[in-house]
Amino acid sequence: DIQMTQSPSTLSASVGDRVTITCRASQSISGKLAWYQQKSGKAPKLLIYKASTLDTGVPSRFTGSGSGTEFTLTISSLQPDDFATYYCQQYSSFSTFGQGTKVQVK
């Protein structure tokens, strides 16, 4: 099974900050990586798929990058609506989620 290691688990930041979350796969996943945002009490929402493609309606301040086993999600200028928990998901072999990164107010 492919394991996904996401870091950090918690991130404290301020509005306007640049934020980066990392996801590492235990083996190559050929770019089959998605990022989701989950707000408290809500279902996850797809942000990025194929490692770097923004889903419809997702603000351009979100950027996904990486290949092979190393991937990042960057928020260029954190907005109040972005405080949430973020998960990566590999879909190369069945599916696995990372442990999540909570972005909280500094």
Partner 1 sequence: EVQLVESGGVVVQPGGSLRLSCTFSGSSFDDFAFHWVRQAPGKGLEWVCLISWDGGTSYYADSVRGRFTSSRHNDKNSLYLQMRNLRPEDTALYYCAKTYAADPYSYLDLWGRGTLVTVSS
Binding site for partner 1 (CB under 8 A): 1, 32, 34, 36, 38, 42-46, 49-50, 55, 85, 87, 89, 91-100
Q: Do 73 and 54 touch, CB atoms closer than 8 A?
A: no
**How far does Cα 72 stand from its chain's mean position?**
7
In sequence order, what are the residues at sequence separation of 6 or more whose Cβ sits closer than 8 angstroms to the Cβ of residue 75?
A: 18, 19, 61, 62, 63, 82, 103
- Residue 87 beta carbon to partner 1: minimum distance, rounded to whole angstroms: 5
- Residue 80 beta carbon to partner 1: minimum distance, rounded to whole angstroms: 23
Structure tokens at 60: 């351009």
Task: Compare residues 77 and 99 and give the one whose CB is closer to partner 1.
Answer: 99
- Residue 77 beta carbon to partner 1: minimum distance, rounded to whole angstroms: 25
